[in-house]
Amino acid sequence: MEGDCYAATNNIIFNKASKNIIGGNMNRIQQLHKIGQSIWLDNIERSLITSGRLAELVDMGIRGVTSNPSIFEKAIVGGAAYDDDIARLASSGKSAMKIYEAVAVEDISLAADVLRKVFNESCGEDGYVSLEVSPLIADDTETTISEARRLFKLIDRPNIMIKVPATREGMPAVRKLIGEGININATLIFSVSQYEEIAEAYISGIEDLIAAGGDPSSVASVASIFVSRLDGKIDPILESMGIVELRGEIAIANSTSVYSRFKEIFAGERWQALSEKGARVQRVLWASTGTKNPEYSDLLYVYNLVGPQTVNTLPGKTLDALIDHLLVEETIMRDPESAKKAIERLPQIGIDLDKINDMLLQEGVEKFAVSFNSLIDSIESAMPTDNLLNGFADSLH
């Protein structure tokens, strides 16, 4: 089995021949996997797991699950599924922070168990569930490292990925954690340069792991590129300038540029030497791919980003649209020159893409922090006064 897994994870052919449009008896999720793209679900909540719906989606071809503080806030605060757990944990004297962690870890663990068969059958390529470190420590490298270690050990499953924001402080954390054999989902990536730094952190981490005598085939990582938020920021600027022809194009063009660098980085001599030792490619993961502008196709960021060795994580509404009417074909490198020209035009019209991407990163961290704080506040408001006092005392120790 080990030999079979090694062959499967290292048989990577970027420019493989494939039919332009794939059909047959496979559903659309399975058709995408045939091309080389894995579809993950960008959502987690207790009822999704306990009702059997997640298992059904896995049977349909879903190959992973991602979460973030906003998703957990919606799940825990938005319904009654967690009320009993919160009451039980509060009565035992747990703080709101400890209650959140307990229910989040349980959800992540249960989802990982459902996806374990995908992990096993894919030799560790897919089947992962991601849990993010607290966004409140995004500017603290050492605390991020210690929290990632703790969560990975606490959940104690091989198909867990710890999400680390790709901030300046997060970059060295990614390298350190990969070097320790911890699966990492590097998140909140917006720019090509930011992606390049994360790829370097991953490759350096793999080199560290090998130098320490570790097995590089035992660790996996994805680099999560946030897509639609870029158009959300640039489109209003273009509209104010009367430049309508670039609306809805920059996010895809930027993602195409990232994918081009991905292909170059993971085809070079340095990477090939690591690949021969069993190292896995750090796949690009497309995040924030739900369409927010009603003027655009509901699958704009899904259809145009289909390519080998990629992952697309989708919210439920976008996944439903994919299942219903996505035209499945390999698209991402269909016209890289046009993508390059669109990006090159931005400075000509006075738009600083790097500055906007830096702004989006900062906003992304802040939004998750707001959601996280709101979640903790909501749990606290549901706790009796005596439990709040116990929780406060617990937090001091």
pLDDT tens digits, one per residue of 189-244: 999 999 999 999 999 999 999 999 999 999 999 999 999 999 999 999 999 999 99
> Concatenated DSSP letters for 287-340?
ES-S---TTS-TTHHHHTT--TTEEEEE-HHHHHHHHHH---B--TTS-HHHHH
Q: Which 8-state DSSP code applies to residue 15?
A: T
pLDDT digits over 258-297, tens only?
A: 999 999 999 999 999 999 999 999 999 999 999 999 999 9
- Among residues 187, 182, 194, the alpha carbon closest in space to that of 220 is found at 182
Torsion angle, alpha carbons of 272, 276, 278, 279, to 10 = -10
What's the pLDDT score for residue 80? 84
Check residue 9 and give its pLDDT: 44
Yes or no: say if 104 and 130 are a contact pair by the CB < 8 Å rule.
no
Judged against a pLDDT cut of 80, whether residue 8 lies above it is answered with no
Q: What is the pLDDT of residue 25?
A: 80
The pLDDT assigned to 17 comes to 32
d(CA 68, CA 318): 17
Q: Structure tokens of 75? A: 């799940």
Enter the tokens of residue 390. Answer: 């116990």
Question: What is the separation of C-alpha 143 from the centre of its chain, rounded to a whole number of angstroms?
Answer: 21
124/121 Cα distance (integer angstroms):
8
- Residue 302 contacts residue 289 (beta carbons within 8 Å): yes
Contacts 24+ apart (CB under 8 A), 233-242: 233/356, 233/359, 233/360, 234/346, 234/351, 234/356, 235/293, 237/351, 238/351, 241/349
Tell me the pLDDT tens digit for each residue of 339-379: 999 999 999 999 999 999 999 999 999 999 999 999 999 89
With 0-12 / 13-18 / 19 or more C-beta atoms within 10 angstroms meaning exposed / middle / buried, residue 118 is: buried
Say what the pTM is.
Answer: 0.91
The long-range contacts involving 335-343, CB below 8 angstroms and separated by at least 24 positions, are 336/256, 336/260, 338/253, 339/252, 339/253, 339/256, 339/257, 340/253, 340/257, 342/246, 342/249, 342/250, 342/253, 343/250, 343/253, 343/254, 343/257
Supply φ then ψ for residue 238, to 5 degrees.
Answer: -60, -40
pLDDT of 19 above 90: no
pLDDT category at 386 given cuts 50, 70, 90 is: low
The Cα 9–Cα 241 span in angstroms is 47
Residue 390 has pLDDT above 60, yes or no: no
Q: Name the superfamily (CATH) of residues 27-382.
A: Aldolase class I (3.20.20.70)
Q: Are 116 and 65 in contact (CB under 8 A)?
A: no
pLDDT digits (tens, 9 = 90+) for 63-118: 999 999 899 998 988 878 898 999 999 999 999 999 999 999 999 999 999 999 99
Distance CA 270, CA 132 (A): 30
Mean pLDDT of the chain: 91
Give the model's pLDDT for residue 385: 58
Q: Which pair of structure tokens corresponds to residue 369?
A: 């922090």
In this model, does residue 6 exceed pLDDT 60? no
Asked which of 13-27, 42-56, 216-230 is least confident by mean pLDDT, the reply is: 13-27
Q: How large is the C-alpha radius of gyration of the chain?
A: 21
- pLDDT score of 130 more than 60: yes
**DSSP tag of 280:** P
What is the total residue count of the chain? 397
Strand duo 184-189 + 160-165: pairing: parallel
Query: Catalytic amino acids?
Result: 163
